[in-house]
Amino acid sequence: MDFLYLDSVFQVLICTRCKYAIVPGTVAAHLSTLHKKEVSKAEIKTCVEFWKDQPIQPAKAIQQLELPADALPIPNLALFHNGIVCLLCTKQPFLCSAKSTQYMQKHLKTVHM
């Protein structure tokens, strides 16, 4: 699949068409939901077989990385400028999309209560 890209530094599988990271184990769902007009069922099956044994990191592992403030963005991933950050986290900031306030609420309940 020419529009799936594995970032070798972070081991993140990225769809270059929609600029999203793909969660391990969801390649078929991503392709059949968002790109069903572009890929056949046979191509999806081939793609799933190829990516199932690749070292793709789950989002939780990537979120735990401590990166310098001047680190460059991961190529091919969408950048969002409407995020929110937890001001209670001092060592490593917790960030999420402003549209996904439920993630921040869950974070606050599980980490800071």
pLDDT tens profile 41-99 = 999 999 999 998 888 988 777 777 777 778 888 888 887 777 888 889 877 777 777 77
pLDDT single digits (tens) 19-53: 888 888 899 999 999 998 999 999 999 999 999 88
Domain boundaries, the chain: 4-59, 80-112
Distances (CA, A) of 108 to 17, 51, 59, 93, 103: 33, 34, 18, 12, 9
Longest CA–CA span in the chain (Å) reads 48
> What integer pLDDT is reported at residue 28 of this predicted model?
93
Position 96 scores a pLDDT of 79
CB 80 within 8 A of CB 21: no
Can you give the pTM of this predicted structure? 0.68
